[in-house]
A and B are shown apart, each in its own frame.
Chain A
Amino acid sequence: MANSFNPTLAIEAHDLVKVFPRGNVRALDGVSLEVEAGTVLGLLGPNGAGKTTVVRILSTILGPDAGRASVLGRDVVSEPDAVRRIIGLAGQYAAVDENLTGRENIHMVARLSHLSRKVSSRRADELLEEFGLAGAGDRVLKTYSGGMRRRLDLAAALVANPPVLFLDEPTTGLDPQSRQGLWVAIEELVRDGTTVLLTTQYLEEADRLARDIVVIDHGRVIAEGTPAQLKADLGTSVVSVTLGDRAAVDRAVELLTPFSEKAPVVEDLVIELAVRNGPKAGADVLRSLDAAQITIAGLALREPSLDDVFLSLTGHKTTIEESGEEAVAKSKRGLGRARKSDVADGKDAA
């Protein structure tokens, strides 16, 4: 609870509370987090957990109802303009102007960041080049693919070389190749000293990019640590059995449930068990299936992934990814509204 600015922390949030009066949803219920300068914090949580609300408060778009937060020592509530000069924000909706060209979009954001005309033009050239959009720079955005829009959105967020970057689900709805490309770009920014707060539903993304992870659900922090710590805390590894015959699934689940620390996860022919002692459990599983004359097509033992951590923490898997079309439909439905209803969905699911 440092009242003075700790120079090693780029982002600090203390007990943030946000209540949306419509539907009386407590989107944030005392969220605290810290991001060390030059590192990436992955903010994870199911849909409606409050991830986006955290980002919107930290980027001065939304005021908290309680709690305080600062970016590089600047208070987001009392010095919003100072904060806006040192942050970049790329959102999940690729907030770019459809009717402008890529170059015009970046130029507009540069001018609104109060860079001179000359610097704005130079930055537009540099960023288009960096993000592989040089050839498409003078095309109207309507002709851009989803991946190109995301890249442009990120490029626009970087126009003033902000030392702190907020990325709200930067790769949601992207194809694997575009996602890879964006990851590389983010890694390079971090190497150059940028501090990043990243929200994501993809645990693979968090695992790859984030040094630290904060998991929130229902507006509260439910876990934090490095990916390795979180996995170790889980204390279990995973035995994954693939059956040869669909008819045997129910019986196999019944048979294997005692081996698992929690309810087995069943997907089609695959049954996953959380176990303490992997090798021994694997052998036990084989023996008991064999005794019951259930044939298996495969058996694997693996270390827990962040997905397993997430499942164990929140009781559900990360939400199935949205397709690009859905994301667009959602943004058309209304940003604020969509997010608030997401919060409500989250509550329903609980």
Chain B
Amino acid sequence: MTTTTITAPVPVRQPSQGNRVAWVVADIATMTKRNLLALVRTPEAVFFTTLQPIMFTLLFTYVFGGAIRVPGGHYIQFLMPGIFVQTVIFGAMSAASGLSEDLHKGLIERFRALPMSRSAVLAGRTTSDVVRNVFVVALITIVGYAVGFRIGTNVALFLCGALLILFFAYALAWGFAIIGLSAPNAETAQVMVFPLIFPLLFASSAFVPVAFMPGWLQAFAKHQPVTQVVDGARSLMVGGVLHNSGAVVAALLWSAGLLVLLIPIAVRKYRRVA
């Protein structure tokens, strides 16, 4: 180890109003890139997180599908938007374990001693989760096509439906981030999110029509956000008897509301973890 003389001094730039915003964006981009690189370097993890929704698609289509009566009569048309939502929610859950790991490996400590934006670690994590979710949704669409799913509206509306789902997952990821920063370790973070997600996902219209549920459960299932997002996505992706513009609006409001609520809590939590 020899210290070579540094050829030119390193300019440490002082912030001006203009580049302060640019720096926040650059910080988020750096963190997003870092998370995506980690993703590319662990293909096993990507493989298994993609395998799961594929299995759900096949399982629900061929095992349960025949026994479930749905509006419109085609279960696969009913199911696919639900599978998309399930996929992105599971994808967003990695925000919890990922942040927990960063925290306990000392990386967040390092980030906190750098002149970077306070929210970039969280924003980078949730953004890279969106990128991954886009990839997985595209893949699941192909699998859906293979088992008989067809876009019932048009490609533009289908993409709007996909955006609606991704927006919701992005909002949820901020909630998972809070859990990740609160959990004692990555494994616990992972199991902490399940009891939160399972009732929301299964007591929703994602896999079966809410009308089949007992009355007391319907009251919850009809109004909770996952149902709104699934119904909104169905309206945009499949349409026809599943058209429901009220759900689209409700889904957008839920997602925006969650973001407004969760981002400040997550950033506050990040500032305080030590």
Q: Which residues of A contact B (CB under 8 A)?
A: 56, 59-62, 81, 84-87, 89, 91, 93-100, 104, 108-109, 111-115, 119, 123, 126, 129-132, 140, 151, 156, 159-161, 181, 184-185, 188-189, 192, 331-337
CA distance A94 to B120 in the complex (A): 21
7 A-B pairs with the lowest CB-CB distances in the bound complex, closest first = A99-B38, A95-B106, A93-B106, A95-B110, A84-B115, A188-B3, A112-B116
Q: Determine if A160 and B10 form an interchain contact, defined as CB atoms under 8 angstroms apart.
A: yes
Chain A residues within 8 Å of B26, by CB: 111, 114
Q: Is the CB of A114 within 8 A of B34?
A: no
Q: Judging by beta carbons under 8 Å apart, are A114 and B112 in contact?
A: no
Given A60-B113, A84-B114, A114-B13, also A130-B2 (CB < 8 A)? yes
Binding site for A on B (CB under 8 A): 1-4, 6-7, 9-15, 23, 26-27, 30-31, 34, 37-38, 41-42, 103-107, 109-116, 120, 184-185, 273-274
The minimal Cβ–Cβ distance linking A350 to chain B, given in whole angstroms, is: 24
Would you give 14 A-B contacts (Cβ < 8 Å), ordered by A? A61-B113, A89-B109, A95-B106, A95-B107, A97-B107, A98-B105, A99-B38, A112-B111, A112-B116, A156-B110, A185-B1, A188-B2, A332-B104, A335-B106
- Main secondary structure on B side of the interface with A: loop
A109, B105: Cβ atoms under 8 Å? Answer: no
Residue of A nearest to B10 (CB): A161
**Which residues of chain A are within 8 angstroms of B42 by Cβ–Cβ distance?**
99
Q: How far is the CA of A148 from the CA of B260 in the complex (A)?
A: 43
Are A112 and B184 closer than 8 Å at their CB atoms? no
Residue with the highest number of chain B CB atoms closer than 10 Å, among A99, A104, A161: A99
Inter-chain CA distance A129–B4, complex, in Å, is: 8
Query: Which one of B10, B104, B106, B116 lies within 8 Å of A123 (CB-CB)?
Result: B10
In this complex, which of A56, A62, A108, A114 has the most chain B Cβ atoms within 10 angstroms of its Cβ?
A114
**Could you tell me the distance between the alpha carbons of A336 and B112 in the complex, rounded to whole angstroms?**
14
Complex Cα distance A91/B4, Å? 24
Say how far A124's CB is from chain B's closest CB, in angstroms.
12
Q: How far apart sit A336 and B103, CA to CA, in the bound complex (Å)?
A: 9
Tell whether, in the assembled complex, residue B110 and residue A91 are in contact, meaning their CB atoms are under 8 Å apart.
yes
Which of A62, A94, A119 has a CB less than 8 Å from the CB of B10?
Answer: A119
Report the separation of the CA atoms of residues A94 and B37 in the bound assembly, to the nearest whole angstrom: 20
Residues of B within 8 A of A132 (CB): 1
Q: Could you tell me the distance in whole angstroms from the C-beta of B204 to the nearest C-beta in chain A?
A: 34
Q: A60-B112, A89-B113, A109-B110 are in contact. Are A334 and B104 (CB under 8 A)?
A: yes
Is the beta-carbon distance between A185 and B110 smaller than 8 angstroms?
Answer: no
Q: Is the CB of B274 within 8 A of A56?
A: yes
Query: Is A61 touching B106 in the complex (CB atoms < 8 A)?
Result: no
Contact A130 B4 (CB under 8 A): yes
Q: Are A85 and B12 in contact (CB under 8 A)?
A: yes
A86: which B residues are within 8 A, CB to CB? 12
Q: What number of A-B contacts does a CB cutoff of 8 Å give? A: 131
CB distance from B257 to the nearest CB of A (A): 31
Distance between Cα atoms of A337 and B183 in the complex (Å)? 11
Whether B274 pairs with A61 at a CB distance below 8 angstroms is yes
Instruction: Determine the chain B residues whose CB is within 8 A of the CB of A151 once the complex forms.
Output: 1
CA gap between A99 and B106 in the complex, in Å? 14
Residues of the B chain whose Cβ atoms lie less than 8 Å from the Cβ of A84: 113-115
Q: B114 to chain A: which residues have CB within 8 Å?
A: 84, 109, 112-113
A99 touching B41, Cβ below 8 Å: yes
Nearest-neighbour CB distance to chain B for A189, whole angstroms, equals: 7
Q: In the complex the two chains form, is B37's CB within 8 Å of A336's CB?
A: no
Q: Which residues of B contact A96 (CB under 8 A)?
A: 107
Given A129-B4, A185-B1, also A114-B23 (CB < 8 A): yes
Asked if residues A336 and B273 are in contact (CB atoms below 8 Å), the reply is: yes
Query: How distant is B40 from chain A, measured CB to nearest CB, in Å?
Result: 9
Q: Is the pair B3, A97 in contact by a Cβ cutoff of 8 Å?
A: no
Residues of A within 8 A of B6 (CB): 126, 161
- Additional A-B contacts beyond A59-B113, A99-B41 (7; CB < 8 A): A86-B12, A112-B27, A112-B30, A112-B116, A132-B1, A140-B41, A192-B3
Question: Among the interface residues A94, A97, A129, A331, which one has the most CB atoms of the partner chain B within 10 A?
Answer: A97
Closest to A117 in B: B26
Separation of A158 and B106 alpha carbons in the complex (Å): 17
State the CA gap A328–B111 with chains docked (Å): 19
Asked if residues B10 and A108 are in contact (CB atoms below 8 Å), the reply is: no
Please report the C-alpha to C-alpha distance between residue A337 and residue B274 in the assembled complex, in whole angstroms: 9
Asked if residues A113 and B12 are in contact (CB atoms below 8 Å), the reply is yes
Q: How long is the Cα–Cα vector from A62 to B31 in the complex, in angstroms?
A: 22
- In the docked arrangement, what's the CA distance between A66 and B116, Å? 26
Residue of A nearest to B26 (CB): A111
Measured between beta carbons, the chain A residues less than 8 angstroms from B115 are: 81, 84-85, 112-114
A108 vs B32: C-alpha distance in the bound complex, in angstroms?
A: 11
Asked if residues B106 and A91 are in contact (CB atoms below 8 Å), the reply is yes
Closest to A112 in B: B116
Contact status B1-A184, CB under 8 Å? yes
Q: In the complex, A86 Cα to B12 Cα: how many Å?
A: 9
Quote the shortest CB–CB distance from B273 to chain A (angstroms).
7
B23: which A residues are within 8 A, CB to CB? 114
Instruction: Return chain B residues, CB-CB under 8 Å to A336.
Output: 273-274
Residues of A within 8 A of B30 (CB): 108, 111-112
Contact B103 A185 (CB under 8 A): no
Contacting pair A95 B105 (CB below 8 A): yes
Most chain B Cβ neighbours within 10 Å, of A56, A111, A160, A188: A111
Q: Please report the C-alpha to C-alpha distance between residue A126 and residue B106 in the assembled complex, in whole angstroms.
A: 25
Closest beta carbon of chain B to A93's beta carbon, Å: 4
Residues from chain A with Cβ under 8 Å of B11 in the complex: 115, 119
Query: In whole angstroms, how far apart are the Cα atoms of A84 and B173 in the complex?
Result: 28
Residue of A nearest to B3 (CB): A188
